[in-house]
Chains A and B, each alone.
Chain A
Amino acid sequence: MRTFFDELYDNYHHDLFQFLVYMVKDRSLAEDLVQDVYVRVMKSYESFNGKSSEKTWLFSIARHVAIDYFRKQKRKRNRFMEFFDWTEKGEQIKDQNKMPEEIAVQNDEIQRVYQALDQCTVDQRSVLIFRFIQGMSIKETAEILSWSESKVKTTQHRAMKALKMILEDMEEGRGNREEA
């Protein structure tokens, strides 16, 4: 098990952590989730059928770990909302203090892109991270997501469009505030 862990860690850990941290936008949570990924990987290594590459398999598991996390959060949030019936206000509550220092030292545009990623759907965010932050090819992204290449292209197109709109909204909002 140790050798296998070393192999995965040395080859993919950096990218794996990077993927999770940009998916969940929280370093300590990403540290917990990365553990979950390795635990799932170690437990299911015997069932790995070798049809896909190790990297594809690892990232596919990482993505499911992230999705499971979002779904659990959503369920918790729904229960909370039902209880207090604060739907409107609750949606608006955002933790603004979670910008990691690596981002905080970047220029405004990078910070806005980082924040805008949050507002894309999980699928769109996955594609943007794989394609442009991690520089994977369309083929590789499609394999990880178990999608067709054309679906990756479509999602990428929609993600770019969404990101543009979000950025423009953010800039417009900022402009309005400055004018006021």
Chain B
Amino acid sequence: MKKHSDEDIKKALSKLPAMEDRQLKERLYQKVSSRVNKPQRKVAPWLFPGLATVAVLLVLAVFVPVFFSNSGMLTVEESADRADQSAESSTANEETSPSLDSSSSENGEKSSETKEAEPSSEEESLPAEEDEEEEPKADESKVAEDRKAQETELDSLILASEESGLTTLSYPGKNAEIILPTVQKQQESEEFSPERYGLADRVVDDLKYEVNETEGSAVVTFPDGFSVNGTAWASAIIESIRWDLENFQLQEISVQTDSGDPVNLGSYGEISEVPVIQQGEYIFQLYQYEASSERFLAPISVEGSLTFREALSLMKEKGKGLYVSPAVPEHVQFTSTTIDQGIMNIQVEHESWASEQQLLTMVEAILVTAGQFGFERVKFNGMNVSEFSTYDLEEPIDVPERMNPVMDQ
């Protein structure tokens, strides 16, 4: 077997032939410019097929039961058919819900109508299930699959359910102004490439964490002779430590060198403690590096002690950093915030939503901010959308435990 030297390989690589693009420059330009100048669709492409499907289903919903009852078919079959229709109409309804445009309230009504229709058809199909379970089950799984497919197209920035084996690792953004906590599977974290997500390399990889959850304290050990260049670097280290350990809900974070001395952090001087994250210290906006398709909820520190309503207003403000944008659209107004039986009620006034994704991102950013302000459940009022993605806006929603999951690597 031949042994290859570095030089052999470099030579072979440099000999790889030039590949010519066979597209003509003019043709390429035409294709590019037609895509760049393509006018934004005013009507979503699925709207007309979606409406047509809804219309067909409505017609079927009226005629099929009549047909079957007239022909004296068994109740079992009738209810199975209805369940099927309810499944399909609920899917169709979800397909129409992203429109959320100027006719958002109309859609809201439609969706609530469909929603109301669902339980009744389920009620009718329930007795049938006792007799024959297979068909309704198949319908249910179809609904679940359809819903799952719909959800996967939306980009959720939070982790709704806590899983074991997760770890929080914080990365600076490319702007080096903010620190972005991410949630990763422990066994995958070593392979994680921040670059792919538009993040910078971690600044605390050399540090060791010892967490004592019983006492609510942690000790962070820096290597002896650790040094930092500049205030931004020092600040990134401190923020990374705080966010890395945020999930443990600690009372105290001590820092020391390997030899047990205080740590010299440049302009911060010698420090032996890092303050833990307090309630109401951060609001959340959206971070996205220019060429990356990945988005993250970005903690933006706020000055002074704000009320939650003030924090919500602040979430709409631009200019919180490079690659950072508000997660709450400008047209959204928070007219009141009240606490009732531990639930934060937010009264929202808004114009049209640009997309279901915009709405989802806003709701998640608010939930995470509410969690940061110490609330456990949030009820949105006045949204004119009842159910979308995995959320039911008619009900109070639990604030998430974790944000920014990156687990498909």
**Chain A positions near chain B (C-beta within 8 angstroms):** 1-2, 5, 9, 13-14, 17-18, 21-22, 27, 30-31, 34-35, 38-40, 42-44, 47, 60-61, 64, 67-68, 71, 74-75, 78, 100, 102-103, 106, 109-110, 113-114, 122-123, 128, 132-133, 135, 145-147, 151, 160, 163-164, 167-168, 171-172, 175
B10 interface residue (CB < 8 Å to A): yes
Q: Closest approach, in angstroms, between the C-beta of A63 and any C-beta of chain B?
A: 8
Q: Tell me the bound Cα distance from A132 to B15 in angstroms.
A: 9
Q: Tell me the bound Cα distance from A179 to B303 in angstroms.
A: 74
B42 interface residue (CB < 8 Å to A): no
Q: A39-B36, A64-B292, A164-B4 are in contact. List 19 more A-B contacts (CB 8 A).
A: A1-B33, A1-B36, A14-B21, A22-B16, A38-B28, A38-B32, A43-B36, A60-B291, A67-B196, A74-B408, A100-B19, A102-B19, A106-B15, A109-B12, A110-B16, A113-B16, A133-B13, A133-B14, A160-B10
Q: Tell me the bound Cα distance from A78 to B407 in angstroms.
A: 13
Report yes or no: A175 in contact with B36, Cβ–Cβ below 8 A: no
B31 interface residue (CB < 8 Å to A): yes
Report yes or no: B29 in contact with A17, Cβ–Cβ below 8 A: no
Residues of B in contact, count (CB < 8 Å): 38
Report yes or no: A18 in contact with B18, Cβ–Cβ below 8 A: yes
Q: Tell me the bound Cα distance from A33 to B106 in angstroms.
A: 40
Q: Tell me the bound Cα distance from A74 to B196 in angstroms.
A: 14
Task: Give chain A's interface secondary structure class.
Answer: helix
Chain A to chain B: the 5 pairs with minimum beta-carbon distance, closest first: A132-B13, A64-B291, A17-B21, A102-B17, A38-B32
Q: Tell me the bound Cα distance from A160 to B2 in angstroms.
A: 16
Q: Which of B1-48 contact A (CB under 8 A)?
A: 1-4, 6, 9-10, 12-23, 25, 28-29, 31-33, 35-36
Report yes or no: B31 in contact with A167, Cβ–Cβ below 8 A: no
Q: Closest approach, in angstroms, between the C-beta of A13 and any C-beta of chain B?
A: 7
Tell me whether A21 and B9 are in contact in the complex, defined as CB-CB below 8 angstroms, given that A1-B33, A9-B25, A123-B193 are known contacts: no
B290 interface residue (CB < 8 Å to A): yes
Report yes or no: B12 in contact with A110, Cβ–Cβ below 8 A: yes
B19's partner among A1, A17, A38, A123 (CB-CB below 8 A) is: A17
Report yes or no: B291 in contact with A40, Cβ–Cβ below 8 A: yes
Q: Closest approach, in angstroms, between the C-beta of B29 and any C-beta of chain A?
A: 6
